[in-house]
Amino acid sequence: MSRPAIHIGPSEDAKLAAAVRAGGADVAPLEGADAVVWFGGPGELPELPASVRWVQLPAAGVESWMERVRSAPEVTWTSAAGAYATDVAEHALALLLAGVRGLARYARAASWDPQDDRLLEGSEVAIVGAGGIGRALIELLRPHDVEILAVTRRGIDVAGADRTLGAERLHDVWGMADHVVIGAPATDATRRLVGARELARMKPHSWIVNIARGSLIDTDALVAALQEERIGGAALDVTDPEPLPDGHPLWSSPRAIITPHVANPYSAQMRKLGERVRENVARFAAGEPLLAPVEQDRGY
């Protein structure tokens, strides 16, 4: 049986080429290729020849790709969902601890002013969108003696969580948990998932952490909640708009921690993408189901 021909774009990458060969395929030009491994953006991807049956995308979030995905329903598209889960979960935990332990305030201080800060220990943490990143975060939270409330689309029990609720119970979560981590996919249905109403139900000490997509939180509503000190704070690796403009109120808020979408550093991203490429190429060559297929009806 011949080895599949895989095109890598938008340019040759040695690590991805090695992953393709390790998976049992050959690197090839686009014309006549059986599949494409793409690490550029949607606008850079040329029209696919009829020979292409599978496209591997570089990101876990694929909202910007859905127009292309829907325009080629005969092609199997896979995301990198789960490939970067440990890296992003580590960043989520760092943001959560920094918020709860008052590091945002202390980092900005210019004089000695100790406060009686809370502990993460003994709190309840809700993970909204307990996919690969959420499950990795559950493992990292284990040593901190917290109650974990997982929220998933269908409410199927998540390993390691103390409770799991379906998306239809999401309105109850904001008042239940001490802190909330947002890890849901960005779709039309989840845009501004967290708005003024949800923030109003959160506890005065609650921190909200977003490592998913900025569009999941209504930025204006969040700024108002922080200015009025209605929640403990917000720790954001993603924002809406993104990049967050210079001079935006979130930069100067003493209750906000902003990192510039670095939960998945580029150097680690290419290594983890290579691991996913090798696994999916091996599956493609063997005719087995691929990891993280994009479903058109769900939008991820």
Q: What tokens does 246 get?
A: 């210079």
Maximum pairwise Cα distance, the chain: 71
Instruction: Report the Cα–Cα distance between both ends of the chain, in Å, rounded.
Output: 33
Instruction: Give the integer Cα–Cα distance in Å for 22 and 14.
Output: 12
Cα angle for residues 48, 296, 56 (degrees, 5° grid): 45
Sheet holding 163-166, edge to edge: 163-166, 147-152, 124-128, 179-182, 207-210, 233-236, 256-258
Tell me the one-letter amino acid at 215. S
Q: Are 184 and 193 in contact (CB under 8 A)?
A: yes
Q: Cα Rg for the chain, rounded, in angstroms? A: 21
* Residues labelled catalytic: 213, 242, 261
Of 221, 151, 142, 225, nearest to 181 by C-alpha is 151
CA pair distance 214, 178, nearest whole angstrom: 21
Instruction: Give CA 269 to chain center in angstroms.
Output: 13
Q: Assess whether the previous peptide bond of 73 is cis (omega < 30° from 0).
A: no
d(CA 120, CA 72) in angstroms, rounded, equals 46
Q: How far apart are CA 135 and CA 78, in angstroms?
A: 20
Quick one: which of 187, 177, 241 has its CA closest to 209?
Answer: 177
Q: Is the Cβ–Cβ distance between 208 and 92 less than 8 Å?
A: no
